[in-house]
Structure 1
Amino acid sequence: MAYDEVLAHRIREILADEPDLTERAMFGGLGFMLSGHMAAAAGSGGDVMVRVDPADAAEHHASGLVEPMIMRGKEMAGWMEAPADAVATDEALAQVVGWGVAYVRTLPPKVKKPKAR
C-alpha cells in the first residue's frame, strides 16, 4: 500500500521553507529528509514516523501525540510514531514534524560518498 498522499502534502507544506529538503519513498512510506537525515515520514494509514532525540522520547510520549516506534517487536530508540488521529489537526502535525526537524538539525549533514570503481 502506498503512503497517504494527503498527509504527504500536509508535511510538504510544513517543510516548504526548509533548506536541503528531499523526499524518498521507502518501506511503503514517504520519508522527508533534511540534509540527508530523515526527520519524518508519511505512512500508508495516515500515521507519521518522526525522528527525535532519544533523550527527549519520554517527554514527547507524554504529549499524547506519539508512541514509541516498534519494529519486529523491538522499540527503536529515537523514533516515534503518531497515529493518524493524533495528527489530524495542522497544529498537531506541525508539532510532531517540528520535533523531527529540531533533532535532525543538530546532526551534521550527510555527505554522499563517491562510488568505488
Structure 2
Amino acid sequence: MAYDEGLASILRDDLAERENVTEKKMFGGLCFMLDGNMLCGVHKGGGMFRVGKDNHTAALAIEGASPMAFTGRPMGGMVDVDEDVMADDTRRGQVMALALNFVTSLPAK
C-alpha cells in the first residue's frame, strides 16, 4: 500500500521544530519516530497515531478517528484517522498532542 506524500508533508511540518524525529518506511506507509519510538505515520487514505492505552478513549472521541486494525484486530493504543482529520489542523493537533503525551513518556531507544 502506498502512502500520500502530501499527508507526509503535513506531518513533517507539524514535527519540524522537534528534535530527534526520524522517518521510517513501515507497513506500506511512512512512520515518524521520536527518539526511536513510533509516534505517527501516514498510509493510503489517512494517518495513524500512537496515543497509548490511557489516551485511546480520548483519541477515539475525535471525529474521524477509529481503532487501528491493519491486521483485522484492533491495536490498543493506536488510532487510525481519515484524510479529513489529516487536513484539519485542530483535530490533527488534538490527536498529535495525545500521541506526543504518550511517546514522550517512553524511554529513548
TM-score normalised per structure 1? 0.85
The answer to whether the aligner puts 1:87 opposite 2:91 as a matched pair is no
Aligned length, in residue pairs: 109
Unaligned runs of 5+ in 1: 111-117
Show the counterpart of 1:97.
Answer: 96
- Structure 2 distance, partners of 1:109, 1:70, is 26
Partner deviation per Cα, 1:64-89 (whole Å, 9 max, x = no partner): 23111113321111111001122222
- Structure 2 distance, partners of 1:97, 1:13, is 12
- Structure 2 distance, partners of 1:2, 1:74, is 21
Partner deviation per Cα, 1:2-39 (whole Å, 9 max, x = no partner): 21100100100000011111000111110000000010
Show the counterpart of 1:5.
Answer: 5
Unaligned runs of 5+ in 2: none
Q: Give 3-state SS (helix, strand or coil) of 1:63's partner.
A: coil
Show the counterpart of 1:17.
Answer: 17
| Farther-moved stretch of structure 1 (23-32 vs 97-106) | 97-106
| Farther-moved stretch of structure 1 (56-65 vs 100-109) | 56-65
Please report the RMSD computed on the Cα atoms of aligned residues, expressed in angstroms. Answer: 1.4
**Identical columns (%):** 38
CA contact 2:22–2:32 (8 Å) conserved in 1: yes
AA matched with 2:33: M
Q: Give 3-state SS (helix, strand or coil) of 2:64's partner.
A: coil
Q: Give 3-state SS (helix, strand or coil) of 2:108's partner.
A: coil
Q: Give 3-state SS (helix, strand or coil) of 1:25's partner.
A: strand
CA contact 1:11–1:97 (8 Å) conserved in 2: no
Larger radius of gyration: 1
Q: Give 3-state SS (helix, strand or coil) of 1:48's partner.
A: strand
